[in-house]
């Protein structure tokens, strides 16, 4: 099911949260929704779910307006806790399943299966308020998945999770995507989104500023990082021949350089080798963090985060 927002606009008093936003979320791929605080991510999700009625624009499913019946087959995980604190974990999910029409026995089986999938099998009888924050987060995701929804909308599902829980949730979402479900989640963890998602949508001030396949977006900018291993104390004056090149990191025995599209990395490598031994080199695509800052009009050349290697080697 293709989920679309077309020309969405919404204001809260004088504050404009959505300003003619357009996006498309494809089934069978995991889509990350990115943006700074106040960009409009949560407002967008609430408009998708029908929690708020936008001032203008439409939410479409496979090209037609979304109906109440459609949304009955959606799963939503809000950023805020929405669990009954005194209810045991298994009873909590079984109750949610009953609300979606499952009979008692089926609801109990579904609850146990989800607890096992999300790493909470040994907590089935524990009251929700006794669970850690990360466990409650996983339980809340289970509540969103309990009716096997066709469209899954998650607001910061990975917030506060340890690496093991992140891995378990990632597997759960990938399985839904593999089954053809439409899955979108918001996150501030850009490294996680880069590793996990095929598609991203970046929004700012209520508008889409960047959208598409992660790999294509990273390769389309033309910018790259050149990593050079050099002799300790090697001169740097050869860099003056490349005024367009920005030094991202300068260590005693290593350099990281930001190269615009018009600069040939082999020319930079040759200049470095002419000045002294080069012991290592690598050419990396921009990280999602750098794309994010660039889309917001900020200096992305020194954004943190380890890029994925595109070309690696060594030179004597």
Cα–Cα distance between 301 and 260 in angstroms, integer?
Answer: 10
pTM of the entire structure? 0.79
Cα–Cα distance between 286 and 258 in angstroms, integer?
Answer: 9
DSSP assignment string, 61-75: ETTEE--HHHHTTEE
Residue range 171-222, pLDDT digits in tens: 999 999 999 999 999 998 888 998 999 999 999 999 999 999 998 888 777 7
Collect all residues with Cβ–Cβ distance below 8 Å to 196 and sequence separation of at least 6.
30, 32, 170, 173, 174
At residue 144, the pLDDT reads 95
User: H or E element: which one contains 89?
Assistant: helix 89-99
At residue 191, the pLDDT reads 87
Cα–Cα distance between 127 and 105 in angstroms, integer?
Answer: 21
Are residues 230 and 279 in contact, defined by beta-carbon separation less than 8 angstroms? yes
Are residues 189 and 154 in contact, defined by beta-carbon separation less than 8 angstroms? no
Backbone angles phi, psi at 208, to 5 degrees: -75, 125
Residue range 23-35, pLDDT digits in tens: 999 998 999 999 9
Q: Tokens at residue 103, please?
A: 């009979």
Biggest alpha carbon distance in the chain? 76
Q: What percentage of the chain reaches a pLDDT higher than 70?
A: 94
At residue 223, the pLDDT reads 77
Sheet strand arrangement including 278-284? 246-251, 254-259, 224-230, 278-284, 309-313
Cα–Cα distance between 170 and 140 in angstroms, integer?
Answer: 15
Q: Which domains does the chain have, with CATH numbers?
A: 3-217 (3.40.50.300), 221-313 (3.30.70)
């Amino acid at each position: 099911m293709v989920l679309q927002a077309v020309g969405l606009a919404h204001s809260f008093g004088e504050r404009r949260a959505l300003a003619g936003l357009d996006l498309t979320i494809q089934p069978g791929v995991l889509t990350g929704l990115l943006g700074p605080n106040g960009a409009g991510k949560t407002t967008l999700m609430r408009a998708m779910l029908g929690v708020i009625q936008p001032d203008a624009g439409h939410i479409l499913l496979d090209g037609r307006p979304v109906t109440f019946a459609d949304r009955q087959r959606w799963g939503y995980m809000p950023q805020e806790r929405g669990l009954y604190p005194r209810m045991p974990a298994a009873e909590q999910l079984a109750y949610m399943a009953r609300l979606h029409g499952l009979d008692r026995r089926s609801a109990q089986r579904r609850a146990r299966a989800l607890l096992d999938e999300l790493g909470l099998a040994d907590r089935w009888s524990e009251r929700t308020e006794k669970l850690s924050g990360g466990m409650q987060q996983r339980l809340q995701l289970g509540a969103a998945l309990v009716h096997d929804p066709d469209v899954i909308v998650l607001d910061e599902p990975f917030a506060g999770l340890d690496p093991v829980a992140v891995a378990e949730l990632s597997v759960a979402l990938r399985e839904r995507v593999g089954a053809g479900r439409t899955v979108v989640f918001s996150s501030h963890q850009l490294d996680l989104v880069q590793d996990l998602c095929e598609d991203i949508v970046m929004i700012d001030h209520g508008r889409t500023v960047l959208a598409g396949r992660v790999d294509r977006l990273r390769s389309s900018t033309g910018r790259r990082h050149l990593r050079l291993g050099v002799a300790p104390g090697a001169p740097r004056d050869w860099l003056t021949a490349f005024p367009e090149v920005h030094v991202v990191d300068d260590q005693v025995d290593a350099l990281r350089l930001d190269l615009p599209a018009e600069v040939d990395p082999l020319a930079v490598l040759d200049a470095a080798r002419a000045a002294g031994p080069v012991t290592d080199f690598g050419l990396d695509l921009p990280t999602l963090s750098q794309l994010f800052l660039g889309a917001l009009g900020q200096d992305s050349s020194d954004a943190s985060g380890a890029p994925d290697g595109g070309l690696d080697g060594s030179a004597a």
